[in-house]
Amino acid sequence: MAGNSIGQLFKVSTFGESHGVALGGVVDGVPAGLELTEADMQFDLDRRKPGQSRYTTQRREGDEIKILSGVFEGKTTGTSIGLLIENTDQRSKDYSKIAEVFRPGHGDYTYWHKYGHRDYRGGGRSSARETAIRVAAGAIAKKYLKQFHGIEINACLSQLGPIKAEKFDWSMVETNPFFFPDDTKLESLDEYMRDLKKQGDSIGAKVTVVAKNVPVGLGEPVFDRLDAEIAHSLMSINAVKGVEIGDGFDVIEQKGSEHRDELTPEGFTSNHAGGVLAGISTGQDIVASIALKPTSSITIPGQSINTQNESVEMITKGRHDPCVGIRAIPIAEAMLAITLMDHLLRQRGQNPHVNLEHGPIPAQKPV
Amino acid sequence: MAGNSIGQLFKVSTFGESHGVALGGVVDGVPAGLELTEADMQFDLDRRKPGQSRYTTQRREGDEIKILSGVFEGKTTGTSIGLLIENTDQRSKDYSKIAEVFRPGHGDYTYWHKYGHRDYRGGGRSSARETAIRVAAGAIAKKYLKQFHGIEINACLSQLGPIKAEKFDWSMVETNPFFFPDDTKLESLDEYMRDLKKQGDSIGAKVTVVAKNVPVGLGEPVFDRLDAEIAHSLMSINAVKGVEIGDGFDVIEQKGSEHRDELTPEGFTSNHAGGVLAGISTGQDIVASIALKPTSSITIPGQSINTQNESVEMITKGRHDPCVGIRAIPIAEAMLAITLMDHLLRQRGQNPHVNLEHGPIPAQKPV
Amino acid sequence: MAGNSIGQLFKVSTFGESHGVALGGVVDGVPAGLELTEADMQFDLDRRKPGQSRYTTQRREGDEIKILSGVFEGKTTGTSIGLLIENTDQRSKDYSKIAEVFRPGHGDYTYWHKYGHRDYRGGGRSSARETAIRVAAGAIAKKYLKQFHGIEINACLSQLGPIKAEKFDWSMVETNPFFFPDDTKLESLDEYMRDLKKQGDSIGAKVTVVAKNVPVGLGEPVFDRLDAEIAHSLMSINAVKGVEIGDGFDVIEQKGSEHRDELTPEGFTSNHAGGVLAGISTGQDIVASIALKPTSSITIPGQSINTQNESVEMITKGRHDPCVGIRAIPIAEAMLAITLMDHLLRQRGQNPHVNLEHGPIPAQKPV
Amino acid sequence: MAGNSIGQLFKVSTFGESHGVALGGVVDGVPAGLELTEADMQFDLDRRKPGQSRYTTQRREGDEIKILSGVFEGKTTGTSIGLLIENTDQRSKDYSKIAEVFRPGHGDYTYWHKYGHRDYRGGGRSSARETAIRVAAGAIAKKYLKQFHGIEINACLSQLGPIKAEKFDWSMVETNPFFFPDDTKLESLDEYMRDLKKQGDSIGAKVTVVAKNVPVGLGEPVFDRLDAEIAHSLMSINAVKGVEIGDGFDVIEQKGSEHRDELTPEGFTSNHAGGVLAGISTGQDIVASIALKPTSSITIPGQSINTQNESVEMITKGRHDPCVGIRAIPIAEAMLAITLMDHLLRQRGQNPHVNLEHGPIPAQKPV
């Protein structure tokens, strides 16, 4: 399959470059009858949008989404939904100097080698700007999952550089510019980011995304396991270098007697597994975390080469996020929603007698 | 897509349960002209085979692979290759008691809910026994990649419980039963495992897999990124709860000035990225790590329920690995090989003018 | 996708050559809970088997199917089903002379050019022997479709050379060696075939396949239309050179007032469309026809070339069918069943509120 | 896979309804470096456009194509190409009366049953208007195939109702409004169409499409045969009820000695096979024909039902083509081009050592 599509029954195909005419895509497989307007997508697009706070890039992106097809009289028709976001604030002159140079830590080098020809304006297709359409498509999935199955998907920033969330108060997340669930850390986050800006440097982050009320039974053995496809969709987000399900890398030092989630007639007693056993959802919360690298677009000079293999010194100017992890919150939610939606449709096709409507056995361990 | 296939141009489809008649599969998309015999696969199957040392299960699995098609006069014909491993040592009586009970940490509960009917003998399709065919298919990919492109893929155990490898001496890996690259830790590993067996418990592990001589340019933006598909294939291995590319979760605390791999006319000066930038291979070593949970098949009693939702106490008898990570070495190699092979064929189709034969710019940072 | 798989949610992957060790495949996506034994497949395999009458090849093929996985305690488990047929009567010496020669009308020339290396024994992978596994997989789909949805699929020979069926008495079909629905033509068929054998020649045929009780709503706009995927699956049968849905090529000379199937509260008044409108099933009978070419394996000498591009004269010896159309009856049924099964699962996934259980509006026009 | 995508390495995904805001799509897998402008697509869009002559509908469709991404400095970048056609002449009031009524021979009935909710304006997604994006995507494939491989694809109307082309003079095709290759029939075509308009009726047609200079070796056994995928893509065109490769349905009455294409050192002596043997291209011309039904949008009253299952009488007003076959010429070319392009990329991936540049063995039989 060519690479710009994801999903089987719920399939999202996208196009668009950072500084091209427009971004857009085709969302295929949305069941008929879902009420849908642009506003349903705009909310998440605005959460992702840069220029929202002093901690994210001051680039202004309109990110105004348009539905071009697949919705009639306010409801989805079951046919493919065309989406479009026109690029309005392009300032491509910012980028003209880097046409011949490979920025370290960026896709410039690999795109040039792969294709022999690249759109150098702002990263072209490799820019995170591309994720705007993912967020829009994910918003459709989120709405469907919530409305017809009660599934809720939320993400937060669980770590920024050395600062870890020590409590997960989800009611906090949308009230601070860091999407951070631990209000005791907001001041240190603020201070940390101010220092970072002074240094002209950037920092990595961890994002945790949770789906609640997922029915038991989603995921197909053995290659299309739910966790394998979640890993695929989360790792496809720009800057992600690691994916964990449940306890993730902590399992290395766990013993079996400690890790296994025991079962009682009232439900599981813990959720080390993160809601997936043998690749199939357990009905507990799906819990996944991702590690996002620090952006390489920083003002500290670095050495690089140009297309003639000559040594050059690089300083990335322009308006960039010192921590790309912050804006990844709605993207992580979107990608988890896209994968769950696809698996829900597949499970429904394959196992029609399984009741997907009622809730799962509740997890005892709060996240 | 139904879940028992992986890959697009190089596609592997498998079948088989732990205690069924046989395991097998179809390996489709192997180019014509590769010399291939059963012996090419048997080597890796034997590395994976249980009963090899006192640290892995004493179950005896013949794991004798047969080629049923797709090879003529010693060479592949370009048509699909049928593979078969007959199950010889089944002892299904060991498992009859658990037919109505869900073992904690296993797929029993999820399979039962998903399908309403399950093969309870040894985990059925959810057993790691299924990976034998992956290893065989991966061995075909490994041979092709090495012979036609010089690509080499090797994995090792980089951590077992609290014991981490502090040096990576690849020449050590095949000389000890732990596939461990650090010979200064062999004694403590031995001691740790003996203690664990006495306790009747199990332990998690970390496996690192590296591909050398990968050409620049593999991977398709934006959803079929090479790292996203590697995450998919590695997370599809039984017991895996986390996947990292390059520095993985360490990037959370890295700054941009530290993380970015600078470029010089002689090559990259480091490989924090793990050989992938913007989803496309850089020509440096591909480095990935996975976290494997401790097996839940332990002799320490645990609480569970049966299909009537009644409380029961579980002790898993039978012959099980105290650390399933050890046997995952050839499986991790196989899955990385399957994904690289698929991307190599795709890249060749899409970008015929890119020279995939010559080597990449060398990485300076040894792994 | 590599070429040896078909279907999305119901996916069949096959392997095997005419004179290899075995034929086999993976049938993925069968819902759990279907009672299944080898006997369910053997019936159709026997209908396809050569050596059944004097009008088909006298080659003896055991065609004994084995289920290797995916069935437990007599029922499907929802996991992938492994199938195997061992080749028993190979006589490969018959074919050794043609190793360097391209038989006209066969795949020898194209396989050799595509792969540079081919299994020349009896056509290798291009032999119709490969269809045995399709028939077995199709039998699973037929059983499921009938048992859970009341759908019945039947094919017959509607024309052999110049002799056309003028009535369609389905009760006749299994009572004569031609699978012909018109008993007034049996004598002329017999005479025609005897003459043909004397001449050492072969003849083309037309096969018609009908699915009854198909629910309205199967098929996905716009590329995965039901008729487009039926055309795909039927054209993939060896020797097929044409596919028609409903009136097929007769529509060229029809007027709109004649072709359109009018609707009344009691149902459609005709079925020119063959049960598909705008790519979606109408609930009427699905009617498709295929044209099968005469086999090129005949004893009348013909000119050809060898791999050195030298002129040679060919006579195909060995045991061949003078009309391959006759044995295509169960193959056509199998391929239609595979496609309907896949679309049924997809429709169920996408549109769960549509009732697929009850029957369609009846067609008035008998086929 | 959701139904609005076609192809594996060259993948086209589309959206849009007859009277929606816009039509569009994503063309994925175009290799980097192809010079491409809107004008390359506009030529074929204009050939397809209605309102061109008195024999096609007088609806005016702007059909102005825009490239939104994937092209930089005049060349493709290897990333996905976004396409858009805004709908300008919608006149949806023409259609408002039919909201509750099922037009016979249209998708109204099947869409309503499948989705329970439909865009009734001009057929919505089931309108042939959707094919505009196919034509644009096909034009990209045609340009690539011609420029890099010398492959040329042309279609013509080979029959309209009872009037058959008796000679194939390709130089005629673009000089008459019927795209007819036989100039001796132009007067009778003209007369026939005038009569038809008076009657308010419509007529079926046959379109023949030919690809020249196709290299030997395209097509994957056994399910992704080239002819099977051509059948799929051609049958997916609106109104198509039959597909033939080479001699098609004529093979039913052919003998083997007559049908087989003999080989000489100078090439094949005939092309009954239509350029495909065993599912793989022979290097001869690929020849395919399709049967298009007469449109059901006619002014002769017909009986139908409404959504309440009540009897109604239908007259389709509005502006419709009396022979939809005429406008299908560029659509048939586009679909054949899309399928060949996909197979070319796949073949290149799988069999890199096969020379796809040089031409095939020439066919002796002119088409």
Feature table: binding site of A for FMN: 125-127, 238-239, 278, 293-297, 319
Is D294 marked as a binding-site residue? Answer: yes
Instruction: Please state whether the peptide bond connecting residue A243 to the residue before it is cis, i.e. omega within 30 degrees of 0.
Output: no
pTM: 0.95
Kindly tell me if the per-residue pLDDT of A358 is higher than 60.
no
φ/ψ of residue A115, rounded to 5: -105, -15
Tell me which H or E stretch contains A139: helix A131-149
Q: Domain for residue A362, yes or no?
A: no
Q: Which of A10, A22, A67 sits opposite D68 (nearest CB)?
A: A22
Tell me which H or E stretch contains A226: helix A226-235
Q: Domain for residue B355, yes or no?
A: no
Q: Which of B106, B249, B292 sits opposite A242 (nearest CB)?
A: B249
Interface of D with A in 65-124 (CB under 8 A): 66-70, 72, 75, 77-82, 84, 114-119, 124
Kindly tell me if the per-residue pLDDT of B356 is higher than 80.
no
Determine how many CB atoms are found less than 10 A away from the CB of residue A166: 10
Quote the minimal CA–CA distance from B152 to chain C in Å.
24
Amino acid identity of residue A32, one-letter, is A
Q: Which of A10, A28, A70 sits opposite D13 (nearest CB)?
A: A28
Tell me which residue has tokens 């030997």: D216
Confidence at residue A361, expressed as pLDDT on a 0 to 100 scale: 37
φ/ψ of residue A3, rounded to 5: -85, -5
Q: Which of D5, D159, D258 sits opposite C252 (nearest CB)?
A: D159
Q: Which of A5, A16, A80 sits opposite D15 (nearest CB)?
A: A80
Q: Do D259 and C304 touch (CB under 8 A)?
A: no
Query: How many domains does one find in chain A?
Result: 1
Q: pLDDT tier at C120 (50, 70, 90 boundaries)?
A: confident
Region D107-123: mean pLDDT is: 88
Confidence at residue D356, expressed as pLDDT on a 0 to 100 scale: 45
Confidence at residue D357, expressed as pLDDT on a 0 to 100 scale: 41
Chains contacting C (3 or more CB pairs within 8 Å) = A, B, D
Kindly tell me if the per-residue pLDDT of C96 is higher than 70.
no
Of all residues in chain B, the one with the smallest CA distance to D357 is: B352
Feature table: binding site of A: 48, 54, 125-127, 238-239, 278, 293-297, 319
Is C359 within 8 Å of chain D by CB? no
CB A215 within 8 A of CB A145: no
Q: Domain for residue C365, yes or no?
A: no
Feature table: binding site of B for NADP(+): 48, 54
Could you list the residue range(s) of the whole structural domain that residue D162 is in?
Answer: 92-350
Q: Domain for residue A365, yes or no?
A: no
Q: Which of D29, D350, D352 sits opposite B350 (nearest CB)?
A: D29
**D180-195 burial code (b ≥16 CB/10 A, e <16):** bbbeebbeebeebbee
Average pLDDT, chain B: 90
Q: Domain for residue D32, yes or no?
A: no
Q: Do B3 and A233 touch (CB under 8 A)?
A: no
CB D127 within 8 A of CB D330: no
Q: pLDDT tier at D352 (50, 70, 90 boundaries)?
A: low
Confidence at residue D348, expressed as pLDDT on a 0 to 100 scale: 87
Tell me which residue has tokens 């990333």: D79
Cα distances from D116 to residues A69, A133, B43, C267, C286, in angstroms, run 17, 28, 57, 18, 22
Q: How many CB pairs under 8 A join A and C?
A: 46
Q: pLDDT tier at A367 (50, 70, 90 boundaries)?
A: very low
Tell me which H or E stretch contains B332: helix B329-350
Quote the minimal CA–CA distance from D164 to chain A in Å.
38
Is B185 within 8 Å of chain A by CB? no
For residue D85, the chain A residues in CB contact (below 8 A) are: none
The tokens for B17 are 């349960």
Q: Which of A3, A66, A80 sits opposite D14 (nearest CB)?
A: A80
Tell me which H or E stretch contains B276: strand B276-277
Quote the minimal CA–CA distance from D271 to chain B in Å.
26
Region B42-47: mean pLDDT is: 93
Q: Do C256 and D113 touch (CB under 8 A)?
A: no
Over the stretch A277-291, which tens digit does the pLDDT of each residue have?
999 999 999 999 999
Of all residues in chain C, the one with the smallest CA distance to A33 is: C351
Quote the minimal CA–CA distance from A79 to chain C in Å.
7
Confidence at residue A15, expressed as pLDDT on a 0 to 100 scale: 98
Over the stretch D122-153, which tens digit does the pLDDT of each residue have?
889 999 999 999 999 999 999 999 998 999 99
Signed CA dihedral, B357, B360, B362, B367: sign only: negative
Q: Do C113 and D1 touch (CB under 8 A)?
A: no
Is B228 within 8 Å of chain A by CB? yes
Kindly tell me if the per-residue pLDDT of B355 is higher than 70.
no
CB A303 within 8 A of CB B264: yes
Confidence at residue A294, expressed as pLDDT on a 0 to 100 scale: 97
Range with lowest mean pLDDT among B199-203, C346-350, D227-231: C346-350
Cα distances from B81 to residues A51, B140, D277, in angstroms, run 54, 10, 22
For residue A8, the chain C residues in CB contact (below 8 A) are: 8-9
Q: Which of C126, C224, C231 sits opposite D278 (nearest CB)?
A: C126
DSSP B197-246: HHHT--B-EEEEEEEESPPTT---SSSS-HHHHHHHHHHTSTTEEEEEET
Of all residues in chain C, the one with the smallest CA distance to A343 is: C349
CA–CA gap between residue B277 and residue A121 (Å, rounded)? 17
Is D197 within 8 Å of chain C by CB? no
SS (H, E, C) chain C: CCCCEECCCCEEEEECCCCCCEEEEEEECCCCCCECCHHHHHHHHHHHCCCCCCCCCCCCCCCCEEECCCEECCEECCCCEEEEEECCCCCHHHHHHHCCECCCCCCHHHHHHHHCCCCCHHHHHHCHHHHHHHHHHHHHHHHHHHHHHCCEEEEEEEEECCEECCCCCHHHHHHCCCCCCCHHHHHHHHHHHHHHHHHCCCECEEEEEEEECCCCCCCCCCCCCHHHHHHHHHHCCCCEEEEEECCHHHHHHCEHHHHCCCEECCEECCCCCCCEECCEECCCCEEEEEEECCCCCCCCCEEEEECCCCEEEECCCCCCCCCHHHHCHHHHHHHHHHHHHHHHHHHHHHCCCCCCCCCCCCCCCCC
Confidence at residue C349, expressed as pLDDT on a 0 to 100 scale: 85
Length of chain A, in residues: 367
Q: pLDDT tier at B353 (50, 70, 90 boundaries)?
A: low
Q: Domain for residue C258, yes or no?
A: yes
SS (H, E, C) chain D: CCCCEECCCCEEEEECCCCCCEEEEEEECCCCCCECCHHHHHHHHHHHCCCCCCCCCCCCCCCCEEECCCEECCEECCCCEEEEEECCCCCHHHHHHHCCECCCCCCHHHHHHHHCCCCCHHHHHHCHHHHHHHHHHHHHHHHHHHHHHCCEEEEEEEEECCEECCCCCHHHHHHCCCCCCCHHHHHHHHHHHHHHHHHCCCECEEEEEEEECCCCCCCCCCCCCHHHHHHHHHHCCCCEEEEEECCHHHHHHCEHHHHCCCEECCEECCCCCCCEECCEECCCCEEEEEEECCCCCCCCCEEEEECCCCEEEECCCCCCCCCHHHHCHHHHHHHHHHHHHHHHHHHHHHCCCCCCCCCCCCCCCCC
Angle between helices A329-350 and A38-48 (to 10 degrees): 140
Kindly tell me if the per-residue pLDDT of C279 is higher than 60.
yes
φ/ψ of residue A36, rounded to 5: -150, 130
CA–CA gap between residue B95 and residue B287 (Å, rounded)? 39
For residue A25, the chain D residues in CB contact (below 8 A) are: 26
Amino acid identity of residue A230, one-letter, is I
Determine how many CB atoms are found less than 10 A away from the CB of residue B117: 17
Feature table: binding site of A for NADP(+): 48, 54
Average pLDDT, chain C: 90
Quote the minimal CA–CA distance from C117 to chain B in Å.
6
The tokens for B19 are 């205690």
Q: pLDDT tier at B62 (50, 70, 90 boundaries)?
A: confident
CA–CA gap between residue B26 and residue C86 (Å, rounded)? 16
Q: Domain for residue B16, yes or no?
A: yes
Q: Do B29 and D350 touch (CB under 8 A)?
A: yes
Region D90-98: mean pLDDT is: 62
Confidence at residue B304, expressed as pLDDT on a 0 to 100 scale: 94
Q: What is the CATH number of the domain that holds B228?
A: 3.60.150.10
Over the stretch A324-354, which tens digit does the pLDDT of each residue have?
999 999 999 999 999 999 999 999 887 665 5
Q: Do D225 and C3 touch (CB under 8 A)?
A: yes
For residue D125, the chain C residues in CB contact (below 8 A) are: 221-222
Over the stretch A186-244, which tens digit does the pLDDT of each residue have?
999 999 999 999 999 999 999 999 999 999 999 999 999 999 999 999 999 999 999 99
CB A194 within 8 A of CB A331: no
Q: Do D5 and C125 touch (CB under 8 A)?
A: no
Range with lowest mean pLDDT among B126-135, C346-355, D320-329: C346-355
Kindly tell me if the per-residue pLDDT of B286 is higher than 60.
yes
Is A125 within 8 Å of chain B by CB? yes
Q: Domain for residue B365, yes or no?
A: no
Is C141 marked as a binding-site residue? Answer: no
Region C79-99: mean pLDDT is: 79
